[in-house]
Structure 1
């Protein structure tokens, strides 16, 4: 197995496990972080090669900050980072990873956040 795919798979498994073990309030918190991450990446252009690396790095940076603060929101940020990488569609088995991501997202209360 490709080392990157293996690493993404392990991180995705950790995210699934984290979501499965938390309660409804934490799931809402993760979902909110996921939406914040989606908004952030939508405003970061891909680089000249169509590479999502700038988006991915921004999500990892936020995830690391959340994790350092012991904030479960790190899961939402990491899911977006993985999703951005998989959406480049140039990894072996990217379709399988995308299916796992989509199933994982169904574990979250992902209705569009309301703006006040």
Structure 2
């Protein structure tokens, strides 16, 4: 793994730990942030196939939530990692994607079309 993949794996391990340690109320907040982030990144165009604009936006939002000690930061981090992994150009990206998918499955399902 290169340095970026290692850093992503560590961040993903942290995010997964936060999800696992969260009570149902906090998991719901993470899930809502995840779906909000997913909706937002879908509206941000890729830069010649590069998801960097989407990833940067998610990390900025996550930093804002983290500064306020808000667990929603985890949902934004998960989308940022998911966007990067989905570029499919990291060593072991398949393994990272599997961990992201398993972490997301721990979140309560939220249908973004229902308000």
TM interval, shorter chain, is over 0.9
Q: 2:78 is paired with a residue of what secondary structure?
A: helix
Q: 2:83 is paired with a residue of what secondary structure?
A: helix
Q: Is 1:43 matched up with 2:43?
A: yes
Number of matched pairs? 115
Question: Which 4+ residue blocks in structure 1 deviate beyond 6 angstroms?
Answer: none
Would you say the 8 A contact 2:59–2:80 is kept in 1? Answer: yes
Q: 1:108 is paired with a residue of what secondary structure?
A: coil
Question: 5+ residue gaps in structure 2?
Answer: none
Q: Is 1:101 matched up with 2:97?
A: no
Q: Deviations over 1:19-72 (max 9, x none)?
A: 111100000000000000000100000002x00000000000000000000000
Q: Which residue of 2 aligns with 1:11?
A: 11
Structure 1 residue 114 displacement after superposition: 4.7
Would you say the 8 A contact 2:32–2:110 is kept in 1? Answer: no
Alignment map for 1:62-77 (pairs within 5 Å)? 62-77=61-76
Question: 5+ residue gaps in structure 1?
Answer: none
**Whole-Å separation in 2 of the counterparts to 1:111 and 1:91:** 29
Q: 1:88 is paired with a residue of what secondary structure?
A: coil
**Whole-Å separation in 2 of the counterparts to 1:102 and 1:75:** 14
